[in-house]
Structure 1
Amino acid sequence: MALRTLAHQLPVEGDAAELPPLRAARLGAREVPAPYPGLVTIGSTEAGDLLLLNLAQVPAVLLDGNPVHINEVCTSLALELGMSPWASDVEVVTIGFGEDLPQLLPTARIAHMRQATHALRDLNERLLEAHQMPETQHQPYLLLCASALDADVAWEFADVIDKAGTVPVTLVAPESTAAAHFPEAEVLNASLGEPQQLDYAGTEITVQRLEHAAYLQITTALKVSGQPAHPAEGPWQEVPDEPDSRQQPQRLAPEEPTAPTSDTATRPSPAEAADRSAEVFPALLAASADPAGLRLLPTAGVPAEAEEDPGTETTTAPTPAAPETDGGENSGEEGTAQEVEESEAHDLHAPEIRILGPVEVAGVDSTGHGPRIVRLAALLYFRPGRSANVLCAHMDPVSPWSASTLNARLQGLRRSLGSDPAGNPDVPRRSSGDDPYRLSPSVRCDWTRFLQLAERALPLGPAGLPDLERALALVRGRPFGGRPLPWAEPYRQEMITRIIDVTHTVATYRTPAGPHHDLSAARQAVATGLDVDDAAELLYRDWMRIEAVAGNRQGLHTAVTRVQQVNRALDCSLELATEQLVNDLLNGSSAAVRI
């Protein structure tokens, strides 16, 4: 880039610039900080050139116009600042929008705050930090506010920014209440789709906005790019395919009794299932007991997490070394159950980290520093052997922990987990400052148990249903809860994928007529999977097939309505397989079952 810029400044002779002779070039490992980290695209000129405004040089940029358009301008700025290669030292705070950006963007430059007063407090703390750590004074602090500020809060921002000294602080906010306190600020009309004057740059620009549909496309791509590849390996190759579209499920008469299954006693009862997920996808659970009483789901979103009494779930896990049996279908099923029970009895004393839902650790309080301690426990379990600096950064990418904070939380975790029967602490002490941080190998995790159950059961086909349903019973909601730290995102995506695999397998085996037919269990599996990922169209297709087999046309309409609502919210089209199945089941094509 530097050589291209140099060439552009050279005199042109003929058709090209006369370049000076170059003997060699040296690239060093030492990086030079970006000289203008606050540069960001504000719009485009009439000639089509992008115009970058150095936000670090202005105290405020105010936006007039429709609130939707103001939000789109702020979103455009936030995404570019969050990914720009020269903005690595910038702190960006979003207010009134961008709640999902801190988790989606890998650079960890963006913090979302629900209220402007929270951002004001954080700004004051940032200025105090800069006073105590002069080497951070050059790092810009940018506030992007899409909602109108209270007049008093706007005055406070103006007062603090005026006293920021050497720290570059900039506020981008609606003009309505802030203009009186920033009389010299540039004002741009966010709704104007034609050139307008930008006095600070001495030119006219068309303001850049990021429309909501484009924003959804970008965030969807970021979610996908953050997911690890999931090739079907080992037991996961045994996840069944969907039924062929020409072989739709055969309808059973509504009054036909459900055939008893040999593993009824080993799977969760419908009463337990209803108690655990009563507020998540209620149509699925209602259909289990009273299909005629179904109603279309409301358009409002469902709760992000289902609450569950921890006491209703078994909290022990098998050891990885449990042997497998070589017998037939029945012996494999019975042997698996026996291995699980033996391992559970052996590990009753060991602490367990639960991440298949809100993060929990038995013995750690949910108040005070408890939530930070359990997240630290999860980090140590999934990423053992890290240094103090790495752990501090992972625990708070925006404001990394200090070494003293880390040590204090480790002490709290050590006291909470205690020791094994031999007196060895479950959080071992380090013998030197160079030793890595880790947990005792005896500490367990529900995700490890989920994998053990699922991978042992999948090769058994329908005979593995008891363990598959035990695995799903461990799932309490979205892995790591509603707001995981960035380090946990790749693990979370892996977990969601595997949970969907197990859900689909259970639904596939429980839906058709036969010895394993149990529509209540199939519906409960789908409810669990959709609680984890309510956009998984594979599971909606499973749900539709369940209601088709049940002869429950209203339940089928409920499933179709829900998947359509989810896709409208995401501004996405249905998958072709979903469209085809809906058409077959609702329109009664020759390939479809008539219900």
Structure 2
Amino acid sequence: ALGRRRREQLWHRAFGHRIPRPRGDAAGAEVALRLGSDAPGSRMLDNGLRLLGKLLAEQGRVPPTIYAVHLSARGLDLWIHPPEQDAPEPWESHDGGRTWRLLAHEGRGIDEHALADAPAPYPGLVSLGVTESGRVLIDLEAAHGVIAIAGHRVRDALAALAVELATNRWSDQMRVTLVGFGNDLATIAPHRVRVVGSLAEALPELEARAEEMTASGTQVLTGRVHGRAADPVWPPHFLLSAIGPDADEAVRLARLGRAGTRMAAGYVIAGDVPHPTWTWEITEEGKARVEALGVTVAAQLLPRRHYDAVVELFRTAERREGEPVREDEESREFTTSPSINVRVLGPIEIGPVPPLEEGRAELACELVVYLATHPAGVHPVVLGGILWPRGVQAVVRDATIARVAEWLGTDSEGRPNLRTDDTGRLRLGPEVRSDWQLFRELVRRSHNDPSARAVLLDKALGLVRGPLLNGRPRGRYAWLAADELEYEVAASVADAAHRLCEVRLAHGDAEAAVAAVRAGLLLAADDEGLWRDLLRAAHATGDPLKLRAVVDGLHRRSSSHPYGGGMAPETESLIDELLPTWRLHSMPSA
């Protein structure tokens, strides 16, 4: 969800500016999100369920009732009642049909593009919490009635539930009505979230919808899997209330669950509710327990401070005014032949250095990358908090620093390539050079030398080999969330490519302008301004096939982008101007 917002920010990024970055608690929230996120698991859950629905629809079968899911590094387990033996491949049936399992290697191999129009069959799955082996989710729709949430820290549990429903990727169109929450949560997902002040205000719509569904006789799961993601049959509507019902409201809530069948709806109410279908209890120790399902886990909670930080994170991603790109004012002198090169504008490369033993290289590289991109240095204690955000003993931190210092060795004058200065800060030596430092210096010189501008910008862009720190290990580099590096690099590379494109076009060299933009897109692939530059440069070549190839590539990319959102309106307008027939021949959404 945050990625979608940032992509939309890039639609409006002005030349010479970067998109606003989070600060304070909001930046800390993003660090925590990066540390705790499970993007591969979320993708497997989403793709695995959509594939399951598609396979069952092709076989003319009714999807089973899934009351809970266990997501782990080993794969995805669906807990089914009543049991059903015949699971469609690559799913496997276990425990007499009580569990359907998708192994992780099968889940990772699913073709996501082939499922682009496959609907989400179980949009009501929400995280109850975690165990030592993985995450447990329950299906709100499977309760067929009211779920009471009681015990300790009920609001924190409801807040976590609300944020997940508002942002998950395994739902298509849905509505979430919140009672007893502030309007701030609507900031995260205005297309999904509605905030009302009381249950009395929320219930009429839910009651009318339940009557309509009952009268239609539609089987929700069967209807869903035969539908389309863009136009789901009975999109779900979930009610989360931090306010308990009065006597009349309790009766009305009970009536909503009387049908005893799946109603594309779920109701989670705080406090004691008469005759709930399930009771979701939060213990004083932070456990979440649903006795009806026999499940107890460490509860997923979102305390108020963290909730506020997440909301502020999304507010920052709503801002359109950019921040000026910071550029060095003074020239930097680089050694002719550095002892060590640190390459970050693409896959991480550090060399020449001897190989490190397995298990130590990732941390050592991250330490060097941080210092290379923060040449002012950093105190070891601060560095410890950056590289070990969950905490580290001083002896482990100091041993790691000493190991990296030995690994980097000395420069041509015998000076350590990793040293401690007079203020106690760790710094890399003058003969350790990063491609990012060299890129900035080449761009700075291009501003002051119009005659050599094209050559200098071309050299700068020649340093770009792919996305920043491409292939970095999962769970590491979380500090990037609270740092300006990602924002600064993406904007600077895009601006350099834009400048070089303009210079090349001014000199009538459209092919070189195309090459300049493509070099920038290697790193700043989501910068919509660069795509518009590429369209203009391709049009300037006079080759309609080249322009058509760019339009088709852009359309294909926007249709299958993991963050969604399509193309910026300005980009579509430019295509309409340069290639008026593109909509007639555009590829279907992949």
TM-score of Structure 1 vs Structure 2, range by shorter chain: 0.3 to 0.5
TM-score, length of structure 1 as denominator length:
0.46
* Structure whose residues are more often strand by fraction: 2
